[in-house]
Amino acid sequence: MPEPVQASDLADLDGLDDWRYLTGAIEATFALRSSGDARRFSAAAEFVRLIAAASDDANHHPDLRLNYPGIVHVRLTTHAIGGLSELDLQLARVISGLAEDNGFESRSTDSPETEDRD
């Protein structure tokens, strides 16, 4: 079983600038850097597909939401332990890399928050 990660540890970890802690999970929202792209929704759907493929490779799956006009919201938690684990942090870093490589930027306000609302 994966080991839990405490919210208070997040601020000291590298590669999680896009993510914020909220209620036993980490979350990030991404959008295309270029807001004038007429294919934003299609590009965001492709980004979701890339996240799905990376998630299958990791055998760890996030909750995903795709909203018009091309906003992707990702929530990671480890259901087996009812909270955050190293599996979530590893996949978060992969997803942030995919975002960077595909022209997406984080729209998360404070990353990572250490507010514990549990």
SS3 53: helix
Tokens of 82: 């009812």
Q: Torsions phi, psi of 25, nearest 5?
A: -150, 170
Locate the domains of the chain by residue range. 7-106
Residue bearing tokens 């909220």: 22
Average pLDDT of the residues in 40-48 = 94
Q: For the chain, what is the mean pLDDT?
A: 88
Q: Are 62 and 51 in contact (CB under 8 A)?
A: yes
pLDDT at res. 92: 97
Q: Are 28 and 100 in contact (CB under 8 A)?
A: no
Instruction: Express each pLDDT in 65-114 by its tens digit.
Output: 999 989 999 999 999 999 999 999 999 999 999 999 999 999 975 444 43
pLDDT at res. 89: 96
CATH of domain 7-106: 3.30.1360.20
